[in-house]
Amino acid sequence: MTDSASMPAPEKIPFWRNPTIRAYGFQAVMLVGLVLLALVIYRNTLANLTLRGINTGFAFLSNEAGFGIGETSAIPMINPGFFYFLFSTLGVALGLFLLFRYLIQAEGNGKNRFMLAAGGVLFIGSLGCFYTSISLVETYTYTHAATYVTALVTGLINTLKVAVLGCVLSTILGLFIALARLSPNWLLKKLAHAYIEINRNIPVLMHLFFWYFIVFQRLPGVRQSASLFDTVFFNNRGVYLPRPVFQENFALFFVAIFLSLVIVLFLWLHGRKRQGLTGKKTPLMVPCLGVMIGLPALVYLFTGTPFHFDYPVLKGFNFKGGMTLTPEFMALVTGLTVYVSAFNAEIIRSGIESVSKGQTEAGRALSMSEGRIMRKVVLPQALRVIIPPMTSEYLAIAKNSSLAVAIGYPDLVSIGGTILNQTGQSIEVIGIWMTVYLIISLLISIGMNWYNAKIRLIQR
Amino acid sequence: MKTTVQPYRGDRPPIFKTGALNWMKNNLFSPWYNAVLTVVTGALLYILVTPLWRWGVTNACFGTTPDVCKDNHGACWAFIQDMWPVFMVGTYPSDQRWRVALAAGLVAVLIIATLFRALRKQRVLHLCWVLSPIVIFILVRGGEVFHLSHVPSTQWGGLMLTVFLSLVSMIFAFPLSVLLALGRQSDMPVIRSVSVAYIELVRGVPLISILFMASVVLPLFFPPEMEFSKIMRAVVGITLFFAAYLAENIRGGLQGLSQGQYEAADALGLGYWKKTGFIILPQALRIVLPPMVNNFIGILKDTSLVGIIGLIDLLQVAFAATSNPKWLGKIEEAYLFVALFYWIMCYSLSKFSRILEERYQL
């Protein structure tokens, strides 16, 4: 009692030393500072723009572009047919999702039966809609007379093309390099190590320049083209490939193939589920083969060949027909793939090495085969380590595809650069770039995070 | 009965169980498919390396004049021998190149001095390091100090520019990234959301768009009287870009620190800045030193993009040198030379980062 009486009354903390109030003060100062900075920048920018006679706003986007683009692709027109197509695709995906949810869950109860039925109906119905919608989608391509928007969309499609191809190819190549790096063969191991160390310590722009100026531009001229079985030609104007030409009813054929794949997957998962529940194996070989061959064959009988190949042929000074991959495209995809595959290989290798040796040995003790140990024991655990850094590599590919501007491949940045030079609308163009790349990055992150959450170790 | 004891004759174990042959058997030819793999890899290596060797060494020619390379199928190293100062300093005036060489020598002396353990703790050496950027900047730029003629930054180029851009960007990006990382960990919602927004925005867009922004839009933000040199714009762009990446690394260090350190600092009654400056940052920065070196490798490689906004860095100097009428089209040699430089810098830095990692046993 005496203790507390002898204690001096607690000194009142002055308000400027109160942490809460200080925090508010800090934040208010920061906010005011940022707003002031933004205002100053805004005023300066307006003054500078009027000085240079540049109008602000996005009105210029509907002006005629007037420049040529080396690589154009079909852009779907935004009309009811396109939305029909979009929604039926979504319906197919949703139906598939419901179908497979039923199979992945262990027990089958009434609610799940309902899900199965709903999924099946949705899937079949949407597939029908999808088939009818294909002919309703109209497309247009970029020409000199098209608007700046069309030019930017063409650029965006080119960017996406390179990014997706780069992600897929660099993952496959990286996986092979990683396996070579882990191989017991000394020579192969050292070679893979050298590949990784050489490629990842050289700037990506240098890779692009190497493939563009030293490889693809130094290929022989048109008349001396190098050829592969007289169907694929390499020369300094690009790579010429046979192009599939689709017949009238081609879509039905592909729908049939897709449907048969889904049925096989369904049967397989169903068999696996049954084995899990009852321990009985379902013979699947015959029905699967039957579906795989039977369904497309049936469609084939009705519709005839779905497509034939149009081969490139040397006529006069250039190749006619077929499909051309420009040297810029080839250089960009090859350069990005080689550069990123070195990083991917290291990521995959460290992921596989992170799985403890005891796991492999336990697999062997259970007399599993080496391949099965890899697939069922090591890889699922390694993937948890691999996915997060791999995500940032995919993001890097999407962002590095913007280096296309250095070798003249018409991607979003390079077309935007042309527009920037023509119109002087620098703020708007850079704003468009940043928004588009932010959206792409966000989508990749969301997708990979979803996958990561899916395979993550579930701790009970 | 007499038993015969075989005397030990010093028999060696069979040659296939030890030595080079055993190593080869185990590492190259052990199961049959490994032997196939070895043969295929060896063949591939042979196919790749022989033409390169023939081009670069056997058929190559040396000298300093273009005519030694006439009717020669190999590499023309005479080009490199003649032009290598240009690769180092770009269009820096040739009679002033000694200044750059002197600056490089100063740095080399400092590095060698730092390698000695006894000197490492000396205050004088630390002071030298801190002052060295200023001295080097004055030495290279000149401008009526010590009667050195002024060399405008438009004439800087080559390896010098690459190193300059990456070092200066790193020096500026470091404090900014520490603030951003601390801001992201802060309890104050405004500061945290501003830091998060900045970091995620910058990490979501390509460097090239930031460089374009720095070179085209940045001058619009300031009053028209203000002039920015191209190099300064590039430095601003690279700094802003890498600060975000660096901040994420430093945040990793801040999170890697045990909660007890924060609590202990609080228990000692330290304020925020004292806690951060004396307790948290010294430990967190030590953890993130290796990833920071890797980040610097990233900066070094990505400075090559400044060529797109019109600076002549190490990569672009290869183009500039091969467009010289005397050495037209010697692009392979130029590329190999430049690639070698990038490779040596990045590879040694990555080795350095690995050594740091081992030293701190992370």
**Residue B362's pLDDT band (boundaries 50, 70, 90)?**
low
Res B105 pLDDT > 90: no
**No. of helices (H) and no. of strands (E), chain A:** 16, 10
- pLDDT, one tens digit per residue, over B308-343 is 888 888 888 888 888 777 777 778 888 888 999 999
**Residue A43's pLDDT band (boundaries 50, 70, 90)?**
confident
Token representation of residue B237: 């762009």
What confidence score (pLDDT) does residue A164 get? 92
Contact list, B347 vs chain A (CB under 8 Å): 197, 201
Determine the 3-state secondary structure of B70 from DSSP.
coil
Which A residues 383-412 touch B at CB under 8 Å?
A: 399-400, 402-403, 405-406
Q: What letters, b where the CB count within 10 A reaches 16 and e where it falls short, cover A311-336? A: bbeeeeeebeebebebbbbbbbbbbb
> What is the mean pLDDT of the segment spanning A246-257?
73
What confidence score (pLDDT) does residue B21 get? 74
| B220/A48 touch (CB, cutoff 8 Å), yes or no | yes
> What is the mean pLDDT of the segment spanning A250-267?
78
| A41/B203 touch (CB, cutoff 8 Å), yes or no | no
Q: Is A44 on the interface with B (CB under 8 A)?
A: yes
| B209/A438 touch (CB, cutoff 8 Å), yes or no | no
What confidence score (pLDDT) does residue A337 get? 94
From residue A346, give the alpha-carbon distance in Å to each of A26, A194, A349, A404, B319: 44, 12, 5, 25, 32
What confidence score (pLDDT) does residue A1 get? 44
Which A residues 96-155 touch B at CB under 8 Å?
A: none
| B343/A198 touch (CB, cutoff 8 Å), yes or no | yes
**Residue B16's pLDDT band (boundaries 50, 70, 90)?**
low
> What is the mean pLDDT of the segment spanning A372-396?
86
Task: Enter the ipTM.
Answer: 0.85
Q: Which of A413, A414, A233, A418 has the alpha carbon at shortest distance from A330?
A: A233
| B206/A399 touch (CB, cutoff 8 Å), yes or no | yes
Q: Which amino acid is at A453?
A: A
Q: Is A369 on the interface with B (CB under 8 A)?
A: no
Res B9 pLDDT > 50: yes
Lowest average pLDDT, out of A4-18, A279-293, B112-126, B145-159, goes to A4-18
Task: Please name the fold of domain B78-92+155-359.
Answer: MetI-like fold (1.10.3720)
What confidence score (pLDDT) does residue B18 get? 67
For chain B, what are the domain ranges? 19-58, 78-92+155-359, 94-150
Candidate from A400, A405, A442 with C-beta closest to B308: A405
Q: Which of A220, A210, A438, A418 has the alpha carbon at shortest distance from A332?
A: A210
Candidate from A34, A47, A426 with C-beta closest to B216: A426
Q: What letters, b where the CB count within 10 A reaches 16 and e where it falls short, cover B216-228? A: bbbbbbeeeeeee
Lowest average pLDDT, out of A280-294, A390-404, B38-52, goes to A280-294
- pLDDT, one tens digit per residue, over A120-157 is 888 888 888 877 777 777 777 787 778 888 888 888 99
What confidence score (pLDDT) does residue A6 get? 58
Mean pLDDT of chain A: 82
Contact list, A212 vs chain B (CB under 8 Å): none
**Which has more pLDDT, A205 or B118?**
A205
CB distance A426 to B215 below 8 Å: no
| A406/B308 touch (CB, cutoff 8 Å), yes or no | yes
CA distance B211 to B308: 9
Interface residue of A35, A215, A402 to substitute, partner B, most B CBs within 10 Å:
A402
- pLDDT, one tens digit per residue, over A162-215 is 999 999 999 999 999 998 898 888 888 889 999 999 999 999 999 999 999 888
CB distance B338 to B111 below 8 Å: no
Token representation of residue A210: 């190497």
What confidence score (pLDDT) does residue A2 get? 47
Distance in Å, alpha carbon of B167 to nearest chain A alpha carbon: 17
* Count of Cβ atoms closer than 10 Å to residue A231 Cβ: 13
Determine the 3-state secondary structure of A187 from DSSP.
helix
Res A110 pLDDT > 70: no
